[in-house]
């Protein structure tokens, strides 16, 4: 009887370990399936079967929905989430603006999990899937990227801003520190703060690049969700 009891305990432990492995390291959002009838959307849709693994504290995630020729159809966003371990009945993908694609177009969702709240603390996990927008059948499940070390974490309190005309990069907040041919493409970027004069904004790009400077008049608050015009941080940095 003791051997049988020990066997049951061992099996139970293996099941729990297997579930944790499927959900990835701590913390993680793990995508498991696509959704049918997502070739067009006016506001968003839900994905089922997303496994969350945040046994303690809080984490955050940020995702991007894309299709061939359409790099940014929608997004996911959780600024502070947890603790929670299990399968979500619905993981909402926001769409802005509405889109309409041909039948059977591949849709890709990539969700990045961060150790801290508000997309800070470095990247813990990245889960990416591609599915047929008509049938919902998975086309590609990219191998998850797990537990990378962030050499240059996004500073707390940073806010996304828009640089509609792109921006010249400066290595320091000074006119003579122009980087020459290095420029940012038009788009959205994390703003950390401003220099003492208020003429230059400090920008964070990735965990593997240094903080850069651009002229403050080239970037402003982002009107896109979830930022909705949130003011850029006014703190002095650098």
| Domains within the chain, CATH numbers bracketed | 23-146 (2.60.40), 159-221 (2.30.30.40)
DSSP-derived letter for residue 236 is B
**pLDDT value of position 41:** 97
Q: Distance between CA 193 and CA 200 in Å, rounded?
A: 9
Cross-strand bridge partners of residue 203: 191, 212
The sign of the dihedral angle between the CA atoms of 170, 153, 205, 199 is negative
**pLDDT value of position 25:** 65
CA 67 to chain centre: 17
Residue (of 194, 214, 189, 217) closest to 204 by Cα position = 189
pLDDT digits (tens, 9 = 90+) for 29-55: 999 999 999 999 999 999 999 999 988
Residue (of 211, 237, 192) closest to 152 by Cα position = 211
Q: Distance between CA 19 and CA 47 in Å, rounded?
A: 19
Residues constituting the chain:
238
pTM of the model: 0.57
Q: Distance between CA 188 and CA 205 in Å, rounded?
A: 10
Tens of pLDDT along the chain (238 residues) come to 333 333 333 233 223 333 333 556 678 999 999 999 999 999 999 999 999 998 877 889 999 999 999 988 999 999 989 888 899 888 999 998 999 999 999 999 999 998 888 887 778 889 999 999 999 999 988 777 665 556 677 787 888 899 999 999 999 999 999 988 888 888 888 899 999 999 999 998 776 678 999 999 999 998 876 678 999 999 999 8
């Amino acid at each position: 009887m003791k051997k049988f009891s020990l066997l049951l305990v061992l099996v139970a432990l293996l099941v729990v370990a297997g579930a944790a492995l499927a959900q990835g390291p701590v913390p993680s959002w793990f995508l498991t399936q696509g959704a049918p009838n997502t070739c067009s959307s006016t506001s968003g849709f839900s994905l089922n079967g997303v496994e969350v693994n945040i046994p303690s504290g809080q984490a955050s995630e940020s995702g991007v929905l894309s299709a061939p020729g359409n790099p940014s159809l929608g997004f996911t966003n959780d600024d502070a989430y947890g603790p929670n371990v299990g399968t979500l009945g619905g993981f909402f993908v926001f769409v802005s603006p509405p889109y309409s694609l041909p039948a059977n177009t591949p849709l890709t969702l990539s969700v990045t999990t961060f150790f801290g709240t508000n997309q800070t603390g470095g990247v813990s996990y990245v889960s990416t899937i591609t599915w047929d927008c008509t049938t919902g059948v998975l086309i590609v499940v990219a191998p998850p990227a797990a537990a990378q070390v962030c050499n240059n974490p996004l500073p707390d309190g940073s806010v996304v801003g828009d640089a509609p005309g792109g921006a010249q990069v400066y290595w320091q907040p000074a006119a003579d520190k122009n980087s020459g041919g290095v420029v940012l493409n038009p788009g959205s970027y994390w703003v950390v703060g401003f220099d003492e004069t208020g003429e230059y904004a400090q920008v964070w790009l990735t965990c593997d690049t240094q903080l850069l400077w651009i002229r403050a008049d080239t970037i402003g608050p982002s009107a896109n969700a979830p930022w909705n015009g949130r003011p850029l941080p006014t703190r002095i940095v650098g």
